């Protein structure tokens, strides 16, 4: 199976490359701000399946750069999807819980109404709509709270702060399922192969780690596993304002992906252990 991956240095793209032979395209080879370049890459490489693991992910900066975010997260995925449809190529496209309004306490289902509360969420929703409209074989994988040993993420931020701080205030009224990028990569590869065999499984799917926790609890577990002596105090999100509104409820119902592909929610605590081990080995 010849797999073309858009993205090279991001968290999921890095994990995909660690799992076998894929053709991973960075910005220099396929700039997502130039949709035609991505279409040309599909024509050049003629893959069996495409995984779009690249995106504009600077949530706060997107408030000032929404047109650019919308091209990268919305228009380009649509062009990629149309190119895949024309060639009969399945597409796995990664999206986000930010397409919802973040209200309530129940885990979000794929059929729940969408109402993004920030520019990033709007741009990702535009991408979902464009992929669906292309009419091909696809799986849109909504996920949340992605972490790994690569790139920028909450785990690495907490570890960096622990080097100079012995106490931290962390938001405790936002709840979600931290998701190891490694588990997302594994899910993408399994789904890609299955879509070739069973294209009727086209659709929207949710995939996030378990159990659901607050950022405060996530931070406490990071410090516990890493052996860092840091006291974590919970604060409301209102005490930590950001340019982009964050959802209070990032819980995702992952029943559909289990039913269709047999994919279970990963235990993020085990994934965290693997990431911390990875970071230690890298530091040696």
In this predicted structure, the answer to whether residue 176 has a pLDDT above a threshold of 80 is: yes
Q: Is residue 219 part of a domain?
A: no
Domain extent, residue 50, equals 3-153+177-210+251-269
Segment 110-121 mean pLDDT: 98
pLDDT at 283: 76
Q: Count the domains in the chain.
A: 1
* Residue 4, phi-psi category: left (phi > 0), alpha (psi -120 to 50), beta (remainder): beta
Q: Is residue 199 part of a domain?
A: yes
Residue 217 has pLDDT above 80, yes or no: yes
With H, G, I as helix, E, B as strand and everything else as coil, classify residue 171. Answer: strand
Q: Are 149 and 98 in contact (CB under 8 A)?
A: no
The answer to whether the pTM exceeds 0.75 is yes
Q: Answer whether residue 144 is part of any domain.
A: yes
The domain that contains 59 carries what CATH number? 3.40.50.720
Look at residue 141 in the predicted model and tell me its pLDDT: 98
The per-residue pLDDT for 282 is 86
Assess if residue 69 is contained within a domain.
yes
pLDDT digits (tens, 9 = 90+) for 131-166: 999 999 999 999 999 999 999 999 999 999 999 999
Q: What is the pLDDT of residue 138?
A: 98
pLDDT computed for residue 244 by the predictor = 96
DSSP 7-44: -SSSHHHHHHHHTS--EEE-TTT--TT-HHHHHHHHHH
Predicted local distance difference test score (pLDDT) of residue 214: 98
% of the chain at pLDDT higher than 90: 96
Tell me what the mean pLDDT of segment 17-44 comes to.
94
So which residues are the catalytic ones?
120
pLDDT at res. 194: 98
Helices of type H across 53-206: 66-70, 76-87, 119-133, 154-162, 181-197
pLDDT of residue 21: 85
**Domain-located, residue 149:** yes
Q: What is the mean pLDDT of the chain?
A: 97
Q: Is residue 165 domain-resident? A: no
Judged against a pLDDT cut of 90, whether residue 48 lies above it is answered with yes
State the DSSP H helix or E strand holding residue 268, giving kind and residue range, or none if neither. helix 268-283
What is the C-alpha to C-alpha distance for residues 126 and 140, in angstroms, rounded to an integer?
Answer: 12
Exposure string over 59-86, b if 16+ CB within 10 A, otherwise e:
bebbbebbebbbbbbbbbbbbbbbbbbe
For 63-110, write each residue's pLDDT tens digit: 999 999 999 999 999 999 999 999 999 999 999 999 999 999 999 999
Give the least confident one: 12-21, 87-96, 110-119, 127-136. 12-21
Q: Rounded CA gap, 172 and 165, in Å?
A: 19
Q: What pLDDT score does 20 carry?
A: 83
Q: Is residue 282 part of a domain?
A: no
Residue 172 lies in a domain: no
């Amino acid at each position: 199976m010849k797999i073309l991956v858009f993205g090279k240095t991001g968290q999921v793209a890095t994990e995909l490359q660690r799992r076998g032979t894929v053709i991973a395209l960075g910005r220099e080879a396929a700039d997502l701000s130039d949709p035609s370049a991505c279409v040309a890459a599909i024509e050049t490489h003629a893959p069996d399946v495409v995984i779009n693991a690249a995106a504009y992910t600077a949530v706060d900066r997107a408030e000032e750069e929404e047109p650019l975010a919308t091209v990268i997260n919305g228009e380009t995925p649509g062009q990629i999807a149309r190119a895949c449809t024309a060639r009969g190529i399945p597409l796995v496209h990664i999206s986000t819980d930010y397409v919802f309004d973040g209200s309530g306490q129940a885990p979000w289902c794929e059929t729940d109404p969408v109402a993004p509360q920030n520019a990033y969420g709007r741009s990702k929703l535009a991408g979902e709509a464009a992929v669906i409209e292309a009419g091909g074989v696809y799986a849109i994988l909504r996920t949340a709270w992605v972490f790994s040993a690569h790139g920028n993420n909450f785990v690495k931020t907490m570890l960096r702060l622990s080097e100079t701080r012995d106490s931290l205030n962390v938001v405790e009224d936002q709840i979600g399922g931290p998701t190891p990028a490694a588990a997302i990569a594994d899910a993408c590869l399994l789904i890609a192969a299955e879509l070739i065999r069973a294209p009727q499984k086209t659709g929207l799917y949710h995939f996030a780690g378990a159990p659901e926790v607050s950022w405060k609890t996530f931070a406490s577990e990071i410090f516990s596993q890493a052996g860092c002596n840091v006291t974590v105090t919970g604060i409301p999100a209102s005490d930590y304002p950001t340019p982009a509104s964050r959802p209070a409820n990032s819980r995702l119902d992952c029943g559909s992906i289990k039913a269709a592909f047999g994919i279970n929610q990963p235990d993020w605590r085990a994934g965290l252990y693997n990431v911390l081990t990875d970071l230690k080995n890298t530091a040696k």
